Amino acid sequence: MTAYIQQESINELNPFALWDHYRAKDLTRAVGLDFHGHSGVNTLSYPVCGQMRHVDSTGCQTMLRAGDVQMMLAGNGVVHKDTLKPINGIVETFALWTLLPTAKDEMTQASSQKYAADDLPLLEESNATTKVLIGKCRNVKSPISSPSPILVLDIAIAPYGSWQMQPDDNLTAGFVFVHSGNAFLSGVHIHNDQMGIFQPSSEAIEIRTNQSGCRVILAIGQPLKQNIIASPTSVHSSKNNQQQANQHIEQLMKVVKH
């Protein structure tokens, strides 16, 4: 597992609090984490190779295949367990956390929903294909909504191709992750498995490639004006909310079925 956002970087990447990438080869059995809790964040799980069995304390039990998305709003606390099942020995998945607005969502009851790959729209252009995971791109809208304004795209660009977008004015923070190939943004070369962090701006984004082409994940959003108190399992706006959520998670852990 590679964690690309450290706790001390959350203010810079607000509203994004976590971006993890897990890839493994030559597996002979399923792998994963046992039941554990989260709170105060909205989580996206996105397997791109293999399958993922998801179980959580909201009652959701589902199997995700490559390209599916699991959204879990952790709110005031949720307990979950994810098991990765390899295909031909390989598993690969991404996880993204976003902050929840203090007033209405940070301490709300947890919820969870799966979205099948076929339900997520594709935008086909001359030298790029864009999968809209969350938000709206060029009038193509994902069925997945977010408590705060964000846009998350999975973009494949052909060799020597380019991709451009003018973000909404409020989407001023975020990053691009190069899943494969080579990407060039404003003259900066971003290699395979590297993240590039955007400077605060709503200027147009242009991604170019060389002979290898590239596949990138783009995530931009509106920063939230609230306190940020982060731990390895949660992000809250106050110590009181964090303590309440921790107590709720402790109760859930006592009753969840292992």
Is pLDDT of 258 > 80?
no
Q: Is the pTM of this model over 0.85?
A: yes
**Tell me: the pLDDT tens digits for 127-143?**
999 999 999 999 999 99
CB contact burial 24-49 (16+ within 10 A = b; e otherwise): beebeeeeeeebebbbbbbbbbbbbb
Mean of the per-residue pLDDT values of the chain: 96
Query: How many other CB atoms are there within 10 angstroms of residue 215's CB atom?
Result: 18
Residue boundaries of the structural domains of the chain = 12-239
- State the pLDDT at residue 1: 86
DSSP summary character for residue 8 = G
What integer is the mean pLDDT of 148-153?
Answer: 97
Distance CA 96, CA 86 (A): 21
CATH fold for the domain made of 12-239: Jelly Rolls (2.60.120)
DSSP 90-154: BEEEEEEEEE--TTTTTTSPPEEEEE-GGGS-EEE-SSEEEEEEESEETTEE-S---SS-EEEEE
**Tell me: the pLDDT tens digits for 63-101?**
999 999 999 999 999 999 999 999 999 999 999 999 999
- State the pLDDT at residue 204: 95
What integer is the mean pLDDT of 42-56?
Answer: 98
**Tell me: the pLDDT tens digits for 182-225?**
999 988 999 999 999 999 998 999 999 999 999 999 999 999 99
- State the pLDDT at residue 256: 81
